[in-house]
Structure 1
Amino acid sequence: MRLEAIFIRFYKSFNVDHQRQYLVREDKTAKSGKSKKEIKKQPWEVIKTEDGDLWFPFIKIPIDPQITAVVGANESGKSHLLTAIESAINGKYTGHDYQERQLSPKDFCRYSDRFIITGDACRIPDFVTEWSELSQDECDVITACSEIPQEKKFDRFYLFRKNVEQLIIYLPNVEEPHTVKSDYIEKFQQILPNIRILKNDVALPDSVPIQKLVEIITGEPKGTRYEYLSASQRRKIRSLLDDLLKNESILTSPPPPTINSPNHEKRNKLIDSVFKQLKNSYGDLDKGNKKKQDDSVKLAYDMICTIAKINTNVILELADAMTEDDIGYTQALIDKINRQLAANLNFPKYWLQDNKFQIVISAKDHNLEFSIIDRTETKYSFEERSSGLKYFLSYFIQHRAYKPSDNKPTILLMDEPDTYLSNQAQQDLLKIFEEVANPEDAKPNSQVLYVTHSPFLIDKNHSERIRVLSKGTGYEGTQVVKGAAHNRYEPLRSSLGAFVAETVYIGQCNLMVEGPVDQVILAGAATLLLKEGASQKIETLNLNEITIVPAGGTGNVPYMTYLACSRDEEQAAVIVLLDSDSDGAKAVSELTEKKYGLQQTQLLNKKYVIQIGDLKNLGVKFPAKLKDAQIEDLIPLRISVLAAQKYGRIICGMNERDIKDIKEDNIQTELDKGMTMFKAVNSCVESASKDKPHLSKLPFARTVIEVVKELQKKKKFDSKDVATEDIKALDKFNYNFKILFKELNDKIYEAEMERTKEKASEKVKHLEEGFFNNHPNSANKEDAVVFLTKLKLLLMGDDRFPTEAIKNKIESIERDYELDQNLTERIENYQEFTKDIKSLKFQGKKKSEEIAEED
């Protein structure tokens, strides 16, 4: 079961869909068929009153099948959307303090007309949810719990929650309601997905009293009250005991003749202070912070016992050893726990800033203290690290520790997770969301919906996941901005500010290109190929990890590369893509031959500079006489013609007669002379009209991407109506750009390996361990290809052991498991695959032994 959309009415900042309400034409003389289609009223939108039927259309927010990112300006209603989803499913929601709240008249939209005229009994917000991908078991339960006839077949339905407890089902294109029987509401509720809230205000603590972990395990602490207190409270008690010793005479002297004497008051105050600290394990915290402290302790417990899989009996033994001050046994247990943490936490998979990051535990003064070892092999306490790391760890632990109580899908909701996180940490968080939506283990697939203000939490590979909310004036309330992702991320800029990710280096790897035309075509092609099922790690670009940087002209590429390579101690990996014209050749020379900086070194190794013309040797077919290949020459002729015709129609305003003169034959004639695709198309467009319209490169590039997107959509939904030549052109487009992206990815992996070589000279064993930590039970073929590619790059130039035997074994593995086909499929017989991979590190030794025997 999947949530397709939520419809909201009269809830907090959500009033009604005024656009639909006021664009309606009730008169029968409407000339446009489109007008009639627009005024279709859903049966649940009509409210019956004594004065007749009143129509209050719901506000519809489509939900992505996997991950939905909700953006908007302050007070635009983003957080209200999260609680609306929870209310629609459960009839109650979680407040900002994580306490459960029942829907009530207080939640009714206060600038709605009906807030004033409606009686309290009916002043409850309304919600409708649309559900799809139903299993047969779910359909059977829905039929049994409602008045739907047994013989009625359906694969989706709408659920109207009215007045909190009343549930009404509508089937698509059927106005008849089917009420869920009151005796079956609880059973019906059980088939709806679970709602899970990822808390964004609870961090992993610096330390935790071990007796608080004991309390979670056994229900009560085992040690003394003193051991149960926090480190700060124990410090206060020690200070108070010092005060008592300093005032020993007050305690030991005979009782004063008068109760109100100064010494008597001082003695009572000291004693009361000690007892107060001993009695109150929360110190001076208020109720809200007490709950946060308990949640922090639970995070520590989940990290140790749930994720690291430390047996709870080990924690009890550790508590006893610490109480008895058994230093040797305590340290032995701590060492074992740390080894388990390193093996099972696998935090570097998500925290890309440091692939040597490790959390370690130490025992000190009845506490378990958490420390960090980073890539410098330096140990830091949590207090010395940023709050962003603590909160990212919190999100990570909440995600990894979650175990669904049943096999039901889950909807994960999170409000502004970017609050404490750095830009890179936000990018890393996207990986957690992706894993929630598409888990590798046996957990059911979930849907994720989060609210953000940050451009770094926008997945640039999936613009279709973005929902933009805006706040209207007066009674309008929250509205959905439709098509926000289809207009170059407008109006995201008004919601997020400048879209930083387009213009600055945000990752460790940058693809330097000549200008925005290259950026638009590469980003557009990468996104379109991903939707077609291409391998993100090999056949397209991961736009969250690779930043495409337009240099503003070919002449600026060397300088921009210099800035990227030389500004910081942490050098980023840089790949350059250039046209194969004279300007591109000059830039190649400056990048690979000219000396820069104080050390007078070249900017890049020539292998990291790719020219479009190089793709000819990899399978791309260019016209025979083409010498100055540009990125537009990867676009098939048919798609270029369709884009030129669309450009002429929409941007140039050409008439249809002139547009018909933009023909493939005319352009092909120019291509045969050696002209580039863009120049040939532009020449044809100019010749087609007496007005001599001129193509501009950037809008033409955007038009090309729009045309490919339209062809993909037709191929998917109306394949019979798509011309054969259009399908061939689409296939050629995919083929050309897959070749380009594979070449770019190979260079990117090599540059990444070179960037990290000096810091951590990875060996075969280390690379293998990283692979199986990330994929212990299964993996896609694409994951294996990336791993083996990195392994082959790692072995290049290594003369310390015979690499030929390992390379031969790698080729054998690639053949045996057909790693050149169906890259997104799972590897069959993964157990044997694991054995073959683990045998790689022994191939060199085996070869050496064979040579020794021959000698």
Structure 2
Amino acid sequence: MRIRKVLVRWYKSFNYDYELKFAPSSKKKDWQVTGDGWLPHITVSLEHDITAVVGANESGKSHLLDAIHIVLSGEEHSRSDFCRYSTLFSVEKDKRLYPEVGAQFALSDIERSELATLKIPLYKNDDLLLLRPEAGVVQVLNTDEKRVLLSGAQAVALQALLPKAHKLQTQVDLPDSVSLASLAGIEPVPSGRKNRIDLLRFLAGVSGLEALREQASTLFALIDLAPTTTEDETVQALAAKQQKLGQDLLTKIARIDRSAFADLYNAIAEEREGLVNALIQKMNDSIARHLNVSRWWSQDEDFALRISPREHELVFTIRDRTGTDYSFSERSRGLTYFLSYFVQLWSHERPSVPEVLLMDEPDAYLSATGQQDLLRILEYYAHPDNTDRTDQVVYVTHSPFLINRNSGHRVRVVDKGTGDEGTRLVADVTQNHYEPLRTSLGAFVAETAFIGGDNLFVEGISDQVLLSGMNTRLRLAGAAPSATLDLNQVTLVPGGSNMPYMLYLARGRDQFKPACAVLLDSDGAGQEARRQILKGGAKGRPTVAKELIVMLGEAVPDAVTEPGVVVEEPEDLVPLPLAGIAARRYATHLLGLSVDESTALTDEAILACISPETPSLWDAIETAFRSAFDTGIGKAGFAKELIAYLGEHANDQVQPREVKVIDANFAALIAKLSTTLTTARENEAARRRDRRVEQLITEFFEAHPDGCIQDQALVVLRRIEAAADDTEIGDIIRAGLATIKRDHKLGENPLTRIAAFSVFRTELERLPLLPRLKDQGRIDLDDITNSENQADALAPTGTPAAVDTADADEAPLSQAADEDSEEETEVDADGAPLSPADEDSEEETADEVAE
């Protein structure tokens, strides 16, 4: 059983659906008629898995969560929550009403059978439509759309079958420490650590029993911890929730038995330090084994949560990539709240019936990356890997980073109307990414909802619409993630005629450059843009490598098209029947023509405009459209109408041939773009790694130009190893480091100077060359790990085994790094330093392209 729709009327900021009531095509429902006439419920549909509710401040989005909780639980249903600006809000006798909430539930065959046994009628489509008109009253709609009041026994039985609402506590973070006595099941010490210290200091200052009697009031004030004000009670309640979270982490997630905490408590009291250390080590091992936060917290893959013992508490500490331990108070609050959400979700025991997880603004304390990590957790919660169970998630947010751009259909935008309109649902929000979503998130912030770390430059807005729409369609149809674009990571940037300059600005001259790829039409303008890009960077160098420029016609050589059409732009991948439908929809929506009038544009007329001289389908559409309606057609509007039509018919049981053709054509194109972006991302990661290694080496020899002791050499080797990533190239660098360490016997005598320092310098400076030499087949991994071969391969210049340093591909990297530090350094397509030989080679390549 899952919720299809939520129905809300008169609840807090929700009044009733004004737009539906006054729409000319609306049909009055008798079951929604009141003493004030027909007042339809505000209806919000929910996805079967995840729904994101977006709205401005005070728009009522949090009230929707509360309404869902009332529908599912029947609890907290109060007259005091009746909408204040409703005409039915009253204080008079027999006129006071409850807010009405309800929901339409999709049922399985087994659930329908169970309801039939209980003699609970179903709605006309075999769903369950449940209403709660007042506290303790449950009604359902039958097939005739009549309200049926359930008996007490029926209501109780139905309640057991309904999904359970689970509210995540988004305002509760993990505590800095957890009471060890509480974990052990022992009566806790009645004070925090600071209070205990104050108490001990007080007692130490008391000279005798008589003095203690005189200061008894002070003593009892230190011992008495009962809250004295409402604020104190609030603090105590929050502290209790935090302590429970900490206990759940250790007992439910880490699976540590409470008896182990009792043993630890006694070992600390008895000062048995060896046993204390052994128990803590095993507890930390259990946390690391079962918690596995590093899978979800992408900001530090070496992150580890640990505990440290104190006299009466276990203190949570965080160990990061530096190997240093920090307390929670020394790290950002975002991490502690992320851990809080993680612990709440993983320690929660899901009921046997389906569940609806409710989250109110979980983004409040999380960074943009942390919110993306939370999105992945919610996805897993809704679709866990280890079970076929699926639950629903509904969350409200202000943040653009908690919107999954791969699933725009999940977004629901609510807005508060003027006067007594109250909260309303904004229809078709995903058909326009900027309004009203942009208004709800903020005019400037909202646009970051469509900005990612990788960039795909396209020629125009219509390409944005087509690619994003078809990408979403393919993902919903079950296409592999690797063959589609992750729109949470990838930005589609319309470059237009300024493409080369925008690429230059995007790549810039900064040390860290975003990964960029380009999609160009295969027409004359696209070819010219390609030439400009390859000549348009700094000093006439390409801003992106040739392999990262995708020409549309080359990307889909097997595309199925209309006879005579040559694939040069994305519109050429659209089958003629769909192109005609989109163009006619454009005419009705933009020009205001009737459906009959739009038929003046026929598919035959479009086909007749295709010729060997004009093989473009878009040109044919444009010519035929102008001939039929005496005006032009815009690409962006055409693309939007095409995607809208496909979306409206996405659930049709039988898909016509042209729909399968467009899916196949764009699947091939998007798969190629995905592969190209992966290459761009990998190239940029490699460039950053190489640059980091080169900088470390350069800095070391600037500080130690003539020699160093072994300990100093070991320090730089460890820093280089930390900079090498977990890839095959990183393995090669680590192998080279191990060989250098072994050959020079580093570590045997830390304070002894390196004897063959010039050899050590040459080997270390050429370390970044090893991956390139391996790719060229000049050496293999066995050569690198063999000390004699390594010595030959990396012999100093001038020896028989030396690599020809006149070859730019094998120039000493330290020299390149030194040159790169100067302002006028030449760079290649990936931003790496160029030697003179590379510059000549690049100029020849660019000149050949221009010719």
Paired amino acid for 2:180:
I
Conserved 8 A contact 1:514-1:557: no
Conserved 8 A contact 1:145-1:185: no
Conserved 8 A contact 1:625-1:674: no
Q: Secondary structure at the match of 2:394?
A: strand
Conserved 8 A contact 1:641-1:664: no
Distance in structure 2 (CA, Å) of the matches to 1:439 and 1:384: 33
Instruction: State the shift of 1:191 in Å.
Output: 0.4
Alignment of structure 1 residues 349-748 onto 2, 5 Å:
349-404=295-350, 406-442=351-387, 444-498=389-443, 500=445, 502=447, 506-535=451-480, 537-551=481-495, 553-557=496-500, 559-560=502-503, 562-564=505-507, 567=510, 569=512, 571-585=513-527, 587-588=529-530, 596=538, 603-617=543-557, 619-621=558-560, 629-652=568-591, 659-664=599-604, 666-667=606-607, 670=610, 672-673=612-613, 675-689=615-629, 691=630, 693-713=631-651, 715-716=652-653, 719=654, 727-748=656-677
Q: Secondary structure at the match of 1:700?
A: helix
Q: Secondary structure at the match of 1:746?
A: helix
Instruction: State the shift of 1:457 in Å.
Output: 1.8
Matched, 1:38 2:26: yes
Matched, 1:164 2:135: yes
Q: Secondary structure at the match of 1:538?
A: helix
What fraction of aligned residue pairs are identical, expressed as a percent? 33
Instruction: State the shift of 1:707 in Å.
Output: 3.3
Alignment of structure 1 residues 109-508 onto 2, 5 Å:
109-116=83-90, 119=93, 123-136=97-110, 138-146=111-119, 148=121, 155-172=126-143, 174-214=144-184, 218=185, 220-221=186-187, 225=189, 229-237=191-199, 240-241=201-202, 245=204, 247-248=205-206, 251-252=207-208, 267-268=215-216, 270-276=218-224, 286-404=232-350, 406-442=351-387, 444-498=389-443, 500=445, 502=447, 506-508=451-453
Change (3 A) 1:504 1:488: closer
Spell out, residue by residue over 1:387-410, the C-alpha distance to the aligned partner (whole angstroms, 9 max, x if none): 112111111111122211x31100
Instruction: State the shift of 1:474 in Å.
Output: 2.8
Instruction: State the shift of 1:120 in Å.
Output: 5.3
Instruction: State the shift of 1:384 in Å.
Output: 2.3
Conserved 8 A contact 2:454-2:681: yes
Conserved 8 A contact 2:10-2:86: yes
Conserved 8 A contact 2:400-2:449: no
Distance in structure 2 (CA, Å) of the matches to 1:346 and 1:756: 25
Spell out, residue by residue over 1:777-828, the C-alpha distance to the aligned partner (whole angstroms, 9 max, x if none): xxxxxxxxxxxxxxxxxx98897569xxxxxxxxxxxxxxxxxxxxxxxxxx
Paired amino acid for 2:590:
I
Distance in structure 1 (CA, Å) of the matches to 2:503 and 2:89: 58
Distance in structure 1 (CA, Å) of the matches to 2:538 and 2:315: 48
Q: Secondary structure at the match of 2:90?
A: helix
Change (3 A) 1:154 1:528: closer
Aligned partner of 1:28 in structure 2 is none
Q: Secondary structure at the match of 1:70?
A: strand
Paired amino acid for 1:8:
V
Aligned partner of 1:9 in structure 2 is 9
Q: Secondary structure at the match of 1:271?
A: helix
Paired amino acid for 1:611:
M
Conserved 8 A contact 1:558-1:587: no
Aligned partner of 2:711 in structure 1 is none
Distance in structure 2 (CA, Å) of the matches to 1:11 and 1:85: 11
TM-score, L = length of structure 2: 0.74
Q: Secondary structure at the match of 1:289?
A: helix
Paired amino acid for 1:397:
V
Change (3 A) 1:344 1:764: farther
Paired amino acid for 2:28:
K
Change (3 A) 1:679 1:140: closer
Q: Which runs of 5+ in 1 are unaligned?
A: 24-34, 93-101, 256-262, 768-794, 803-855
Distance in structure 2 (CA, Å) of the matches to 1:334 and 1:281: 34
Change (3 A) 1:588 1:142: same
Matched, 1:69 2:52: yes
Q: Secondary structure at the match of 1:123?
A: coil
Distance in structure 1 (CA, Å) of the matches to 2:325 and 2:454: 28
Alignment of structure 1 residues 738-777 onto 2, 5 Å:
738-756=667-685, 758=689, 759=723, 761-762=725-726
Instruction: State the shift of 1:515 in Å.
Output: 3.2
Name the stretch that deviates more: 70-79 or 655-664.
655-664
Distance in structure 1 (CA, Å) of the matches to 2:775 and 2:327: 39
Paired amino acid for 2:582:
A
Paired amino acid for 1:211:
A
Conserved 8 A contact 1:130-1:156: yes
Change (3 A) 1:116 1:177: closer
Q: Secondary structure at the match of 1:525?
A: helix
Conserved 8 A contact 2:454-2:489: yes
Alignment root-mean-square deviation, CA: 3.7
TM-score, L = length of structure 1: 0.74
Q: Secondary structure at the match of 1:512?
A: strand
Distance in structure 2 (CA, Å) of the matches to 1:236 and 1:471: 53
Spell out, residue by residue over 1:606-658, the C-alpha distance to the aligned partner (whole angstroms, 9 max, x if none): 333322133145x3357898888223333333322322233334334678678
Conserved 8 A contact 1:580-1:627: no
> What is the number of residues matched between the two proteins?
703
Conserved 8 A contact 2:401-2:449: no
Distance in structure 1 (CA, Å) of the matches to 2:639 and 2:576: 14
Conserved 8 A contact 2:183-2:258: no
Aligned partner of 1:107 in structure 2 is 81
Paired amino acid for 1:747:
T
Aligned partner of 2:697 in structure 1 is none
Distance in structure 2 (CA, Å) of the matches to 1:756 and 1:364: 43
Aligned partner of 1:820 in structure 2 is none
Conserved 8 A contact 2:724-2:730: no
Change (3 A) 1:484 1:626: closer
Q: Secondary structure at the match of 2:618?
A: helix
